[in-house]
Structure 1
């Protein structure tokens, strides 16, 4: 009983007392942790994909991995930003901050605002371009890319926490790890939902995808891995959105429907993922052979 009493009397953690900063001050420039998180996720994904294609059944060669690294990076940045503007904040297309050197708000990525769903669309466009250009099996390339996406999700959500942004909803009752974030105008104890997302959308999904790829023969069923990832990320996002505070301009969506914009966007992801998994399991597995690593011809 005394332990319960102590837990109920626990004071929320002050985020500012954790000693975190949003970047590394180099004097002439601040290297943002959010940028480092993107870089870490992309580089780790590139390294792991390079290892994956050395295993039997790879649908591509290293030259194709190099192409995917470049185009998928563009897809993540452009798709993520355009998706955020389209799905969450359309005024970015027409907004300008006249006092700044880069005045068009859409181009001011350092102000924040990237959409996961937009990033997915950007990556799919990039994969389609590389696959068509090199005559690669599109669905199998998607499988191999999907295994590596949780790396970026994990680092990205940790960066959100380090920045003290995208915090959670107010805590009802007492929670030992509840936090007060300095940018919160209400200064109330909230869920550190960034860590929840890092755990579910990042770490847990990362473990699942790595185990399924390396410990099963899922790679030989085109669509199974990307379908599993799509279902997993959709479910994880739906769960964590119950704890994440909606953006100020999207609170009305929650009030009117009971669900956030992110949760509504998760439904089609789960549906599509399940359909792709059924499709993959209904078809016979492929043998899958290595492809040539010879340079493309114009």
Structure 2
């Protein structure tokens, strides 16, 4: 028997006409959790080597930049990558963010741009700041995927024989993989543990190394989870109709993750060889 979907109201708090949804709270908790963890990382001088160490106030300001980058980039990415034709016919819908529609890959690019611009404005090393962001980002990914499950959205592929399949309220009577929880585990919890260990082991002394590990790790986790996730209805499978034992073909999520994996692997190689470390930091060390 499939599991029943827990009837959780997508609105967490309602005060008169003001309604705060779990999805919004997930963004807030993810940003606050990342802010708290980043403050602790900036306080440890041994992690930074000869690089300029950001001050706690820098983290306070950075969180605003990142929040704007994630929201704007996530929305623009969704419009461009997932539903462009629909938004071209109804351009005002682009601004209706309360109706949903965010892309991680777009939010990722928006956050990267925001961090690079912020680092340059403060005289900090952009790659090292991206490394710090990479360590804390899985916190937001974890809570975001949990919110997706609560909303009953981005559900998995049909899995009638799977003992822990869930019947989602808006996905018909077919039991499906709770792929949102798989992503919370892979892109969130497991990647958080990997990044915490890497930060302890390598610190930020090789700019770009931790960022590369995160980008590669996320891409691999996303590709694996895409085998269990139902593709967006307006896109379907981009290539092929049968791919592996789980069926289905290549999805947009897989396609966008391939260049991420290549960039991550390249960043790891360059950082490991010391090619990203500023000369003054090498001399100081």
TM-score (normalised: structure 1)? 0.85
Provide structure 2 residue ranges, at least 5 long, that are not aligned to the other structure: 244-248
Q: Which residue of 2 aligns with 1:204?
A: 190
Counterparts in 2 of 1:254 and 1:166: CA distance versus 1, 3 Å: farther
Q: Is the 8 A contact 1:218 1:224 kept in 2?
A: no
- How far did 1:253 drift? 1.2
Residue 86 of structure 1 aligns to a residue in which SS?
A: helix
Change in Cα spacing, 1:231 to 1:209, as seen in structure 2 (3 Å) is: same
User: Cα offset for 1:92?
Assistant: 5.2
Conserved? CA contact 1:45–1:151, under 8 Å: yes
**Distance in 2, Cα, partners of 1:250 & 1:217:** 41
User: What is the deviation of 1:252?
Assistant: 4.3
Residue number in structure 2 paired with 1:264? 255
- How is 1:20-99 mapped onto 2 (pairs within 5 angstroms)? 20-24=8-12, 25-56=14-45, 57-58=47-48, 59-91=53-85, 93-96=87-90
Question: What residue is the counterpart of 1:233 in the other structure?
Answer: 218
Which residue in 1 is equivalent to 2:209?
224
Deviation at 1:19, TM superposition (A): 2.8
3-state SS of 1:221 partner: coil
Map 1:1-298 → 2, pairs under 5 A: 11-15=1-5, 18-24=6-12, 25-56=14-45, 57-58=47-48, 59-91=53-85, 93-96=87-90, 104-171=92-159, 173-184=160-171, 186-214=172-200, 216-255=201-240, 258-283=249-274
Q: Secondary structure at the match of 2:98?
A: helix
Cα displacement (A) at 1:288 = 6.1
What are the superposed Cα offsets for residues 178-222 of structure 1, whole Å, 9 maximum, x if unpaired? Answer: 0111101x32010000000000000100111112212x1342111
Say which SS state the counterpart of residue 236 (structure 2) adopts: helix
Q: Distance in 2 between matches of 1:288 and 1:191?
A: 48
2:246 maps to what in 1?
A: none
Farther off after superposition, 48-57 or 86-95: 86-95
Equivalents in 1 of 2:31, 2:70: separation in Å? 10
8 A contact 2:231–2:237 mirrored in 1: no
> What is the CA RMSD across the aligned residues, in angstroms?
2.0
Q: Give TM-score scaled by structure 2 length.
A: 0.89
Contact in 1 for aligned 2:208/2:271 (Cα 8 Å): yes
Contact 1:254 1:261 in 2 (8 A): no
Give unpaired runs (5+ residues) of structure 1: 1-10, 97-102, 290-298
Counterparts of 1:48 and 1:14, CA distance in 2:
36
Q: CA 1:187–1:205 in structure 2 vs 1: closer, same or farther (change >3 Å)?
A: same
Alpha-carbon distance in 2 for matches of 1:20, 1:254: 36
CA contact (8 A) 1:20 1:162 kept: yes
Larger radius of gyration: 1
